[in-house]
Amino acid sequence: MINDFEYFAPKTLKEALKLLDQYRDDYKIIAGGQSLLIMMRQGLINPKYLIDIKGISELDYIQTDAKKGLRIGALTTHRAIEKSPVIKKSFGVIAEMENSLASIQTRNWGTIGGNLCHGDPAGDPAPVLIALNASLTIAGMNGQRNMSVEDFFLDYFETALEHGELLSEIQIPAMPSHTGAAYTKFNVIENDMATVGVAVSMTLASKDGHCKDVRIALANSAPRPMRAKRAEELLRGKKITGNLLKEAGEIASSETEPLSDIHASAEYRQELVKVLVKRVGTEALTRAKQV
Ligand SMILES: Cc1cc2nc3c(=O)[nH]c(=O)nc-3n(C[C@H](O)[C@H](O)[C@H](O)COP(=O)(O)OP(=O)(O)OC[C@H]3O[C@@H](n4cnc5c(N)ncnc54)[C@H](O)[C@@H]3O)c2cc1C
C-alpha cells in the first residue's frame, strides 16, 4: 500500500529545483516511476512530497557533437536511446545495452537518469557508461557540478546526489579511433536484471596494434558498479591474445566483492566474471580492429 503524499509536477528545471529546496526534508523525485513505485508499494520509502520531473522537456534530448561526443538529457527514456539512429551509428554498445534492458513497456517509460539515480549495482547502463568514461552533470539551486559516472556510485543503492540536487545530463566522450566496446549480461530470464554484467571498451594503437587503453566495468559484482583496474593494467600496452584476456578475466574476478542472493551465489558470480571478461574483451577487440 502506498501512503498519502503531496504531488507536484514542475514543468521546468528551475521550478523543480525550487521545489526540492522547499521540501528538502521529505521529498522524493519521480521520473518514470519504474523503480521508485516498486519501493513505495513495498513500503520501503514513504515520501511526504513527490516531485514528478517527467514533464520537464528541457531534460529530454539526445545531442551529438563530433568533438565533444554524446549528451543525453537525464529524462530521455531507454527506448528513445535504444532507437536513436545517431547512437546506433556512433555508440552502438549503448543501443545494444538498452535493447537488453527490461521489457519494451519499461523502456518506454523508464529514464536513463532514473536508472542511474536508483543506484542498483545490477543496472545495465552504469557499466557501459563507466567503460566509455562518461560523466554527469548534477543541478542544484546553487548551480551545477560534474563528476564521472564511476564516482557517482557510493554504495549499494547509494549515489553522490545530495538533497536538493537532481541529475540533469550524461556526457559520453567521442570514441577515439580503433576503439571497440561491447556489453553482455548474464541472466536466466531474458531482459531481466543482470546476474552479472560486463562492459569493455578497448582502444588499439593501430588496427592491429597493441592495446593503448582499456576500461573494464562490471555490474552486480560489488556493492556498486565497479572497474576491474588490475585486469585493465594487465592488458594496457600489450598485444591482446586469448590467453591474456583469460588471465584478465581471472584477475577481474579476484577484484570483485559480489553478494550471494536468491539469483546466484557470490562464487557463481565470480565464475561468471572470469568467463564474461574474456568473452566481452574478445568482442571489444574484434570491434576495435574494424574501425
Ligand atoms: C519489470 C522491470 C524490469 C527491469 N529490468 C531492468 C534491467 O534489465 N536492467 C536495468 O538496468 N534496469 C531494469 N529495471 C529498472 C528500471 O528500468 C530503471 O531503474 C528505470 O529506468 C528507472 O527509471 P525511472 O525513470 O523509472 O526512475 P524512477 O523509478 O522514477 O526513479 C528511480 C530513482 O531515481 C530517482 N530519480 C529519478 N530521476 C532522477 C533525476 N533526474 N535526478 C535525481 N534523482 C532521480 C528517484 O527519486 C528514485 O530514487 C527494471 C524495472 C522493471 C519494473
Q: What is the pLDDT along the chain (291 residues), one digit of tens a residue?
A: 788 999 999 999 999 999 999 998 799 999 999 999 999 999 999 999 999 999 999 999 999 987 779 999 999 999 999 999 999 999 999 999 999 999 999 999 999 999 999 999 999 999 999 999 999 999 999 999 999 999 999 999 999 999 999 999 999 999 999 999 999 999 988 888 999 999 999 999 998 899 999 999 999 999 999 999 999 999 999 999 999 999 999 999 999 999 999 999 999 999 999 999 999 999 999 999 998
Q: Which conformational region is residue 33 in: left (phi greater than 0), alpha (psi within -120 to 50 degrees), or beta? A: left
Give pLDDT, residue 184: 98
Please report which helix (H) or strand (E) contains residue 30, including its range: strand 27-30
Ligand 1 contacts CB of residue 140 (under 6 A): no
Do 143 and 164 contact (CB within 8 A), yes or no?
Answer: no
Name the residue of 12, 56, 106, 130 whose CB sits within 8 Å of the most ligand 1 atoms, as the mutation to test its pocket: 106
* Residue 117 Cα: closest atom of ligand 1: 34
CA distances from 226 to 60, 115, 208, 257 (A): 27, 16, 29, 10
Which grid cell is 15?
521550478
Ligand 1 contacts CB of residue 87 (under 6 A): no
Do 200 and 277 contact (CB within 8 A), yes or no?
Answer: yes
Ligand 1 contacts CB of residue 50 (under 6 A): no
Ligand 1 contacts CB of residue 225 (under 6 A): no
Coil, strand, or helix at residue 72?
A: strand
d(CA 165, CA 254): 36
Total number of residues shown for the chain: 291
Which grid cell is 169?
545530463
Which grid cell is 19?
521545489
d(CA 29, CA 127): 23
Distance of CA 284 from the midpoint of ligand 1 (Å): 27
Name the residue of 45, 60, 79, 115 whose CB sits within 8 Å of the most ligand 1 atoms, as the mutation to test its pocket: 115
Distance of CA 146 from the midpoint of ligand 1 (Å): 21
Ligand 1 contacts CB of residue 82 (under 6 A): no
- A 10 A CB-CB count for 52 gives 17
Distance of CA 100 from the midpoint of ligand 1 (Å): 15
What pTM was computed for the model? 0.97
Give pLDDT, residue 284: 98
d(CA 9, CA 199): 36
* C-alpha triplet 122, 127, 128: angle, nearest 5°: 130
d(CA 256, CA 228): 8
Ligand 1 contacts CB of residue 72 (under 6 A): no
* Residue reference for cell 574483451: 281
Q: Give, using CA atoms, the residue closest to atom 2 of ligand 1.
A: 102
What spatial distance separates the first Cα and last Cα of the chain, rounded to whole Å?
A: 53
